[in-house]
Amino acid sequence: MSDLNGAMVSQVAAGDSLTPTPGMQWYVVHAYSGMEKAVERNIVERINRAGMQSKFGRFLVPTEEVVEIKNGQKKTTERRFFPGYVLVEMVMDDETWHLVKHTNKVTGFVGGAKNRPAPISEEDVQKIVDQMQVGTEKPRHKVEFETGEYVRVKDGPFTDFNGTVEEVNYDKNRVRVSVTIFGRATPVELEFSQIEKT
C-alpha cells in the first residue's frame, strides 16, 4: 500500500507467506475498537513525518469475510476478528515506541513491560494470516440460527413453508428445519440463504 505522503508500507493480506523482515519483530498495538484502519493510517503518517520508514515493516489488521443477507440479497462484508488490535512489524526502540504509543486512537501495546512490549512470534502471526485465508476462501454467515427457532423458507421447493430449526451446521452453512407438510413434521436440509427468521 502506498501512503499519500509517499512512504511504502506493506499490508499483510490473506494467504501471504510471512518471511521475517531482518531486524524486525511483530508487536500488538491496542487501538480504539472500530478504529483499526484509522490507527494504521495515523501510524503511517507519523512514520513518514518522522522519516522512520526503515524501522517499520508490515501492518496487519486481522479480518475475515462474512456473508450478510439483506433484503434477500447476499452481500460479503469484512469483519475484524480481533477488534481493537493492529499488528505492527517494527524495530522496537525508544523512538519507535513513542511514535506508536502517542499516535491518535492508540491506547498502548499488548504484553511485556510498560515501556518494553513483548513481541509475538512469526508463527502466531502466520496463524492469524492463515485464519484470514480460510475466511476469504469460505466466508462465514453473519446470520446466526439457533435450535428451536421458528423460520420461514424463502427459496427452493419449500418456499413459504414455516418450520423449526432442528440442527445448525456452520461449517457447511446448512440447517435442518422441521417443516410441516400434509400435517406431518418433515426434516429438510437447507442452506442458510434459503431461510429467514420470522
Q: How many CA atoms lie within 13 A of 28 on its CB side?
A: 16
**pLDDT score of 73:** 66
How far apart are the C-alpha atoms of 11 and 138, rounded to whole Å?
A: 22
pLDDT in tens, 112-136: 777 789 999 888 888 888 877 765 5
At residue 169, does pLDDT exceed 90? Answer: no
The percent helix, strand, coil of the chain (3-state, each to 5) is: 25, 40, 40
| Mean pLDDT to the nearest integer, 15-21 | 68
Q: Are 154 and 73 in contact (CB under 8 A)?
A: no
**pLDDT score of 75:** 75
Greater confidence (69 vs 111) lies with 111
**pLDDT score of 185:** 85
At residue 194, does pLDDT exceed 70? Answer: yes
**pLDDT score of 72:** 59
Proportion of the chain above pLDDT 90, given as a percent: 43
Domains and CATH numbers, the chain: 10-141 (3.30.70.940), 150-197 (2.30.30.30)
Confidence of residue 35 (pLDDT cuts 50, 70, 90): very high
At residue 39, does pLDDT exceed 50? Answer: yes
Q: Which amino acid is at 59?
A: F
Confidence of residue 8 (pLDDT cuts 50, 70, 90): very low
Q: Are 60 and 87 in contact (CB under 8 A)?
A: yes
**pLDDT score of 135:** 59
At residue 60, does pLDDT exceed 70? Answer: yes
Q: Nine-digit cell at 183?
A: 400435517
H or E, element range at 140: strand 140-141
26 closest CA partner among 86, 82, 84, 113: 86
For Cα atoms 92, 64, 168, give the angle at the middle one, nearest 5 degrees: 140
**pLDDT score of 71:** 59
How far apart are the C-alpha atoms of 151 and 165, rounded to whole Å?
A: 7
